[in-house]
């Protein structure tokens, strides 16, 4: 199985356009908003989330470029972890594609129909398949999921749908034994997550915030803690719990307030010293 990290930043990307914090004005390498591509054979590709930067990400990734036919594309499906805008706005950028399949939690499909009508917009261009997340096989790869959170996106905060609103994905390649786990949004370390990640080759883990009070300090919003208000376990909470030996752990979905975005900083080095990784955009893995 081939895996490409198309983007590794949280919503807004890094640097963020409306921010002049010390990180966004530094020389730390830029990161686009989080999305991943995976493939069993390097020819047919599937996306994990569709970020607002998906067009630039596709054009920067030769394996995802159109061809050989004039309107032929290697993209086959999109698997959404949730309905957050930074994970779904890219669907509108893909509206010219014919016959894509979108897999998502039922709550996310509800939100994309009733609150942010992406499905209605896209149906005006092409017919897509919109399917609730399930255990499926894609080109021989076995896909399963685990509910991890009931955090609703702001635009659907009044939705009566019970959720789950956020899930993590596990993609297993029986041919190689390689397994990818994608969990960019963890409000807690959910029940069953240890078993879900056990024996995985690579776990892409929520690295949005470095510490619990980071967002509060950066924005002066006392009610916006990393975990409770924003729905993300900070790295300082999860890093000490990562098993060694165990999966290859890599943090993704880094927010612009996260000091780990700076490779020269002590926070970045401490994560590497602990045995985890902080890969950037364009990083490729073979599992």
Q: Say if residue 86's pLDDT is above 70.
A: yes
| 255/144 Cα distance (integer angstroms) | 27
pLDDT, mean of residues 202-230: 72
* Domain encompassing residue 253: 2-286
Question: What is the DSSP code (8-state) at residue 152?
Answer: P
What integer pLDDT is reported at residue 230 of this predicted model?
A: 62
pLDDT, mean of residues 241-250: 89
Question: What is the DSSP code (8-state) at residue 26?
Answer: S
Question: What is the DSSP code (8-state) at residue 234?
Answer: -
Provide the percentage of residues in the chain whose pLDDT is more than 90.
89
CATH of the domain at 240: 3.60.15.10
Residues 143-176 pLDDT 10s: 999 999 999 999 999 999 999 999 999 999 999 9
Render 176-202 in DSSP notation, one character per residue: T--EEEEE---SS--TTHHHHHTT-SE
What integer pLDDT is reported at residue 276 of this predicted model?
A: 97
Provide the percentage of residues in the chain whose pLDDT is more than 70.
94
Residues 45-68 pLDDT 10s: 999 999 999 999 999 999 999 999
Q: N- to C-terminal Cα distance for the chain?
A: 5
Q: Indicate the number of domains in the chain.
A: 1
pLDDT, mean of residues 91-102: 95
What integer pLDDT is reported at residue 221 of this predicted model?
A: 56
């Amino acid at each position: 199985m081939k895996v490409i990290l198309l983007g590794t930043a949280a919503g807004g990307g890094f640097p963020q356009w409306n921010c002049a914090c010390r990180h966004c004005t530094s020389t730390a390498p830029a990161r686009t908003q989080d999305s991943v591509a995976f493939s069993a054979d390097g020819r047919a590709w599937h996306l994990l989330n569709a970020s607002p930067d998906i067009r630039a990400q596709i054009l920067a990734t030769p394996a995802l470029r159109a061809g050989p036919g004039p309107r032929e594309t290697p993209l086959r499906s999109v698997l959404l972890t949730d309905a957050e805008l930074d994970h779904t706005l890219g669907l509108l950028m893909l509206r010219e594609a014919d016959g894509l399949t979108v897999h998502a939690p039922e709550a996310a499909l509800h939100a994309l129909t009733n609150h942010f009508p992406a499905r209605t917009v896209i149906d005006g261009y092409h017919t897509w398949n919109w399917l609730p997340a399930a255990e499926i096989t894609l080109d021989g790869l076995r896909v399963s999921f685990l509910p991890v959170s009931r955090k609703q996106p702001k635009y659907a905060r009044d939705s009566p749908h019970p959720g789950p609103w956020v899930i993590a994905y596990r993609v297993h390649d029986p041919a190689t034994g390689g397994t990818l786990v994608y969990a960019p949004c963890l409000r807690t370390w959910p029940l069953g997550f240890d078993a879900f990640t056990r024996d995985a080759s690579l776990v892409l883990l929520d690295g949005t915030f470095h510490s619990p009070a980071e967002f509060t300090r950066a924005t002066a919003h006392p009610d916006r803690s990393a975990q409770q208000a924003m729905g993300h376990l900070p790295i300082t909470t999860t890093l000490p719990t990562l098993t060694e030996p165990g999966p290859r752990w890599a943090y993704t979905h880094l927010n612009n307030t996260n000091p780990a975005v700076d490779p020269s900083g002590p926070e970045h080095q401490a994560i590497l010293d602990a045995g985890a990784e902080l890969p950037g955009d364009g990083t490729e893995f073979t599992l």
